[in-house]
Amino acid sequence: MIPLSWYLIFAAVLFCVGLYGVLARKNAIGILLGIELMLNSVNINLIAFWRYRSPDGIAGQAFAIIVFAVAAAEVAVGLALIISIYRRRSSVVADDMNLMKW
Amino acid sequence: MSIEFITWLLPLPPLLAFFVIVLFTNRYKALSHSLAVGAALLSWLGSMIVFIQAIRTEHLGSHPFESVLNWLPTGENWLQIGILVDPLSAATLFFVAWTVLMIFIYSVGYHNYGQPPGDHDKKGLQPHGATVTDDHGHKHLVPSIEPMYSRFFAFIGLFAFGMYTLVVSNNLLTLFVGWEIMGLCSYLLIGFWYQKPSARAAMIKAFITTRVGDVFMLLGIAYLYSTVGSLSYSEIFKPETLQKLASTPAIGSILGLSAAGMIGILLFIGTIGKSAQWPLHVWLPDAMEGPTPVSAMIHAATMVSAGVYMVIRMFPLLQAGSEGGHMTSAMSVLAVIGTFTAIFAATIAVAQNDIKRVLAYSTISQLGYMIAALGIGAYVAATSHLIMHAFFKALLFLGSGSVIHGVEHGVLHTDENVDPQNMFNMGGLRKKMPITFWTFLIGGFALSGFPLVTAGFWSKDEILAEAFGNGHWVVFIALASAAFVTAFYTMRQITLTFLGEPRTESAHHAQETSWTMTLPLVILAIFAVSLGWTGISESFPVIGGLIPNFIHEFVGGTLIEMPEALPFNIVPMLVSVVAALGGLSLGWLVYRNQKAGAEDPLKVALGPVHTLLKNKYYFDEIYETIFVRPAYWLADNFTNQILDRGIIDGILHFIARVASNVGSIFRNYIDKPLVNGFGDFVGEGVKKVGRSIKIMQTGKVQQYLLMALVLVFGAMFYFVFALFRH
C-alpha cells in the first residue's frame, strides 16, 4: 500500500503549485484556477487522512463533498464578477482591479 | 330683599358697567352711555331705598344696618369686610347717589352725544368741532362728539364704584380700597385728554400729591390695626377702646400725643391729600384739565367729599380723650389747617380768571370750612355743610361746564381765537343761557350763603355759630372773613359771566346747552335751595321749629352722645348775613361795568397783592423749588449716577468680571490643556496610525494574499519556535 506520506507530499506540492499560480498569475481566471488547485489539494489531504486514520467514519468524505460544493459556488460567483469587470474595463488583469484601494 | 343685601349690592352696578363697557361695548357709544347711566340709576334707586329705610328707623345711630363677611384669613382670625348704614353714611349716600346720577346724565350732553364725529378729532384731545352743511348749503362748524366717549363712561363708572364702596363700608380697609380706586380714576380722568401736555402734568401731580397723604393714612391704618386689632368702626369706636387709645402714649411719644391723637393725625393727613387742604392743595386746581363732569365728580360729589367723610367718620377717635368739651391736639390740628385753608384758598380764588379754577379754589376753601368745623367739635355742622356743599358745588361745576360749552359753541360759530374758560371773555350770558344762569345763580348764592333761602346759608351759619358759641375767636373771625371773600368772588364770577353785555363775539353767539345738561342743573338747584330747610336751628327766630331740625337729629344720632344744638345767637347770624350780602354787593359793584379788554379792577386796587394771589402765593413755584427740582436732582445725581450706575451697576460689573476671570482660568488651565488635549490626542493619534498603515490597503488582491501568507508563516514560525522552547 502506498504510504500516507506520499499522498501528503503530493497534496503539498499541488497546494504550492496552486498558491504559486494565485500569487503569480496576472490573469484573474488563472488565479481562480490556482484557488481550485489549492482546494483540491486540501481535499486530497482530507480523503487521505480519512482512509488511513479513521476509515470507519464518513466525516472526511462529507468534508470533501462540502469543499466541492463551496468551490463550485465560489467559481460561479468569481467568474460572474470577472465577466462583469471585463465588460466594464475590457481587462481581466488582477493588478488593474484596485477599486478597493484606500 | 333685606336692606343689608341691597346695601351690599349698591356699588356693583357701576363696576359691572365699567367692565362691560371696557370689554365689550367700547365701540357702541349709545350702548355704553346707556349702560353707565343705567348702572348709576340702579345704584341711585338702591341708595334711595336704603336712605328712606334709614330715616324711618328709630335709633339708627345705636342700631345701624350692618352686615359682615369673612374675607381674608389672617393667621387664626379673619379680616372682615362689611357694610354699615348709620345716619352719617345714609346722609352721605343720599348726596352721593343724587350727584353721581346727575353727573352721569350731564356727561351725555357734555360730550356732545348726538353730534357728528369731528373733522379731524384725535383720541386723547378735546373735540375740535365738525363741519355740517345745512339745508341752505351753508357750512357751519358745530361741536363734535368726544372721540373716546365710551372710555369716559367706563371711567366714571369705576369712580362711582369706588365712592359707593367707600360710603357703605363698615371698616377702614374697604374704605381705603374705595379711596384708592378713586385716586386711580381721578388720575385717569384728569388725564382724559392725554395728548395735552398740561393734562398729563396735572394727572401726575394729582396722583403723586394725593399719594403723599395716602401713605400717611395707610400708616395710620396700620397703627390702628396693630393697636386695636380690628379696622371695623364698631370695634374702634367702643368707649373702652377709645379710652385705651386715648390713654396710651403714641409710639415715641411725639409731642405728647396719645395713640388716638397720633392715629387721628395720620389719617387726617390722608384727608389733607384727598380733600386738597393746605399744604397738599396744589393738585386740585390743576385737576381742572379734565372734562367738566370729572371736575364735578372729583370736586363735589365724590373724591374730595370722601376725605371729609373719612375725618367725620373718625371724629370719635379724634375727640377721644377730650374732657369737658376741650379740643384734643388732633382736633386743634384740624381746626388750624381747616381755618387756614378756608381763608387762604378763598383769597386765591379772588384773583383767578378761569371760571373752573375759581370754583376749584372755592372748593378747597369750603372743605377747609368743614375741616375747621370738625376741629372745633361741630360734628353736625361739618356734616351738613358737606352735604349742602356737595349739591351746590356740583351744581356750580356743572353750570360752569355748561357755560364753557355754550361759549365753545360761540367760538366754533365765530371762529374767534378766545379762551372759552376765561370769564373776561364772557358777559351777558344770562340772555343766551337762561337755565344755566338761574341755576348758576342759585348755586352761587348757596355758596356765598345768601340769607334764608339757600342751603349754604344754613350750614355755613351753623359752623360760624358753633365757632362763636364755643369761643373759638380766631376760627370765627377767619371763617367769617372767608365767607365775605367767598361771597365777593362768587358775585365777581356771576357778574363777569352772566351780567352786563357780551365782551366777545363768542359770548354773543353762545347757546343754551341740551336738556341732558340743563336737567341735572335744575334738579341740583332744587336741592341747593330746599335742603337747607331741613337743617334750620329750632331756636331760630320766626321760622325756627316750623320744620324740625332734621339734619341735626338724624346725623347727630351717629355719635354715642347726641351733640347739643347751640341756642340761637344773633351775633354770628348777623355777621354771616353781613358777610354774604356785603361780599355779594361788593362783587357786583366792582365788576358790573367791566368792559371788553379792560384790566381787572382788583388788580388796580390791590397791586402786588393781586399778583401774589394770582400766582396762588407761589406755592407751585415753592414746591417746584423745594420738592420737585431736588427730587429730579436727587434722582439724576444720586439715584442714577451714584446708586444705580455706581453702586448697583458696580456690584454687577464686579460680579461679572470675577466670573469672567474665573472662567478664563478654568479655560486656560483645565479645559484647553487637559480636556481638549486628551480629546485631540485620541483623535490625532488614531488619524496618524491610520495614515501610516493605510499604504497596505492597495486594493490588489494578490498583495493581500501575499501579506496573509507572510503573516501565517510568521505565526507558524513563532509557534514552532515557542514549542521547541518548552
> Is B697 in contact with A97 (Cβ distance < 8 A)?
no
Check if A19 contacts B (Cβ < 8 Å).
yes
Q: Which of the residue ranges B28-37, B98-107, B135-144, B422-431 would you say has the lowest mean pLDDT?
A: B135-144
Q: Are B247 and B321 in contact (CB under 8 A)?
A: yes
Ramachandran assignment for A55, one of left (phi > 0), alpha (psi -120 to 50 degrees), beta (any other): alpha
Write the DSSP symbol of residue B69.
Answer: E
SS3 B66: strand
SS3 B399: helix
- Rounded to a whole number of angstroms, the distance from the CA of B660 to the nearest CA of chain A is 47
Please choose, from the candidates B391, B413, B446, B425, the residue with its C-alpha nearest in 3D space to the C-alpha of residue B503. B425
pLDDT at B114: 76
- Displacement of CA B408 from its chain's centroid (Å): 27
Q: Is the pLDDT of residue B248 over 80?
A: no
Q: Give mean pLDDT, residues B104-130.
A: 81
Shortest CB distance from B702 goes to which of A23, A99, A100? A23
| ipTM given for this complex | 0.82
Ramachandran assignment for B607, one of left (phi > 0), alpha (psi -120 to 50 degrees), beta (any other): left
> Is B699 in contact with A99 (Cβ distance < 8 A)?
yes
Strands (E) across B394-463 are located at none
CA distance B178 to B287: 20
Q: Which of the residue ranges B354-358, B547-551, B664-668 would you say has the lowest mean pLDDT?
A: B547-551
Ramachandran assignment for B59, one of left (phi > 0), alpha (psi -120 to 50 degrees), beta (any other): left
Check if B699 contacts A (Cβ < 8 Å).
yes
**A102 inside domain:** no
Check if B608 contacts A (Cβ < 8 Å).
no
CA distance B725 to B282: 117
End-to-end distance of chain B based on CA atoms, in angstroms? 118
Q: Are B292 and B397 in contact (CB under 8 A)?
A: yes
Q: Which three cell numbers stand for residue B319?
A: 375727640
- Rounded to a whole number of angstroms, the distance from the CA of A77 to the nearest CA of chain B is 16
Shortest CB distance from B705 goes to which of A23, A95, A99? A23
Show residues of chain A in contact with B702, CB under 8 Å: 22-23, 31, 94-95
Q: Which of the residue ranges B125-139, B355-369, B462-476 would you say has the lowest mean pLDDT?
A: B125-139
Strand pairing class (B130-133; B65-74):
unpaired
DSSP string, B592-608: TTPPTTPPPHHHHHHTH
CA distance B314 to B308: 10
Show residues of chain B in contact with A99, CB under 8 Å: 699
Q: Give mean pLDDT, residues B596-608.
A: 75
Strand partners, B133: B139
- CATH number (domain holding residue A24): 1.10.287.3510
Please choose, from the candidates B225, B224, B233, B239, the residue with its C-alpha nearest in 3D space to the C-alpha of residue B82. B233
Q: Which of the residue ranges A68-72, B380-384, B420-424 would you say has the lowest mean pLDDT?
A: B420-424
Please choose, from the candidates B39, B34, B46, the residue with its C-alpha nearest in 3D space to the C-alpha of residue B9. B46
pLDDT at B547: 65
Show residues of chain A in contact with B690, CB under 8 Å: none
Q: Is the pLDDT of residue B534 over 80?
A: no
Show residues of chain B in contact with A19, CB under 8 Å: 709
Check if B642 contacts A (Cβ < 8 Å).
no
DSSP string, B325-390: TPPPHHHHHHHHHHHHHHHHHHHHHHT--BHHHHHHHHHHHHHHHHHHHHHTT-HHHHHHHHHHHH
- Total structural domains within chain A: 1
The more confident residue out of B55 and B691 is B691
Tell me, letter by letter, the H, E, C secondary structure of B165-227. Answer: HHHHECEHHHHHHHHHHHHHHHHHHHCCCCCCHHHHHHHHHHHHHHHHHHHHHHHHHHHHHHH
Q: Which domain holds residue A92?
A: 4-96
Length of chain A: 102
Shortest CB distance from A95 goes to which of B695, B700, B706? B700
Amino acid in the structure at residue B45? L
> Is A31 in contact with B697 (Cβ distance < 8 A)?
no
Q: Is the pLDDT of residue B532 over 90?
A: no
SS3 B277: coil
Q: Give mean pLDDT, residues A71-85.
A: 92
Please choose, from the candidates B487, B650, B651, the residue with its C-alpha nearest in 3D space to the C-alpha of residue B578. B487
Strands (E) across B423-503 are located at none
Write the DSSP symbol of residue B249.
Answer: B
**A23 inside domain:** yes
Please write the tens of the pLDDT for every residue from B40-86.
999 999 999 988 888 887 777 777 888 888 887 777 777 788 888 88
Show residues of chain B in contact with A95, CB under 8 Å: 700, 702
Shortest CB distance from A94 goes to which of B695, B697, B702? B702
Show residues of chain A in contact with B700, CB under 8 Å: 94-95, 97-98, 101
> Is B701 in contact with A19 (Cβ distance < 8 A)?
no
Shortest CB distance from A98 goes to which of B698, B705, B709? B698
The more confident residue out of B323 and B372 is B372
Check if A95 contacts B (Cβ < 8 Å).
yes
DSSP string, B123-139: TTS----EEEE-TTS-E
> Is B705 in contact with A22 (Cβ distance < 8 A)?
yes
Tell me, letter by letter, the H, E, C secondary structure of B493-554. Answer: HHHHHHCCCCCCHHHHCCCCCCHHHHHHHHHHHHHHHHHHHHHCCCCCCCCECCECCHHHHH
pLDDT at B562: 65
Q: Which of the residue ranges B5-9, B136-140, B370-374, B388-392 would you say has the lowest mean pLDDT?
A: B136-140
pLDDT at B540: 66
> Is B702 in contact with A97 (Cβ distance < 8 A)?
no
pLDDT at B254: 65
Amino acid in the structure at residue B360? A
Nearest CA in chain A to B702: A23
Q: Give mean pLDDT, residues B643-662.
A: 92
> Is A31 in contact with B694 (Cβ distance < 8 A)?
no
Best of A16, A20, A95 to disrupt the B interface (most B CBs within 10 Å) is: A95
Question: Is the Cα dihedral B65, B71, B72, B77 positive or negative?
Answer: positive
Nearest CA in chain A to B695: A102
Break chain B into its structural domains and give their ranges. Answer: 113-145, 378-534+541-611, 621-696
Length of chain B: 726
Check if B692 contacts A (Cβ < 8 Å).
no
CA distance A25 to A93: 9
